[in-house]
Amino acid sequence: MSNSKRYTIGLALAFLSATAAADLPQSSILTRYGVTSDQLPKPAATETVNSTEEKSRFHIQPEQPWVTVRLGDGKQPEKTGNISIDRSMQQELERCQRMREQLIRRGGHYISCDNSIPGYSQQ
């Protein structure tokens, strides 16, 4: 586009906006209808409602303690007298303890390796 066309379009737009501004009324719409701002209805009273906590998009968890003490973690499996059963139960306990350590390291939940309820001791 040449400079003369830009200049012509700019002048046409300026002229159109000036004529549109001249058509607008200079007084407010309230004075045209004979109403003052005091005569307008008062807005409805809004009750202040305590906002309930919104669910956060971020799941913030409390800081994990450095040391956790749980009862029943050090129990060895019962001896049956059968060497192969005792050995397999010992291997299963060691595998479970490794799995539990990995879960704790990754931030997972605690699992019990001796089928007991954590923190509950039977007498």
- 16 assigned to some structural domain: yes
Count, residues in the chain: 123
- 79 assigned to some structural domain: no
> Which residues, including other chains, have CB under 8 Å from residue 109's CB and lie 6 or more apart?
103
- 60 assigned to some structural domain: no
Lowest mean pLDDT of 79-83, 91-95, 110-114, 115-119, name the range.
Answer: 115-119
Tens-place pLDDT, residues 9-36:
999 999 888 887 777 766 677 777 888 8
- 94 assigned to some structural domain: no
Q: Give the pLDDT confidence score for residue 12 in this predicted structure.
A: 92
Please state the rounded mean pLDDT for residues 91-119: 79
Domain extent, residue 18, equals: 3-37
Residue 67's alpha-carbon distances to 62, 63, 64, 70, 104, in angstroms, are 14, 12, 9, 10, 12
User: 16: part of which helix (H) or strand (E)?
Assistant: helix 3-23
Tens-place pLDDT, residues 32-85:
788 887 888 888 877 776 666 677 778 788 887 777 665 555 667 778 888 899
Residue 123 has pLDDT above 50, yes or no: no
Q: Give the pLDDT confidence score for residue 121 in this predicted structure.
A: 46
| Structural domains of the chain, count | 1
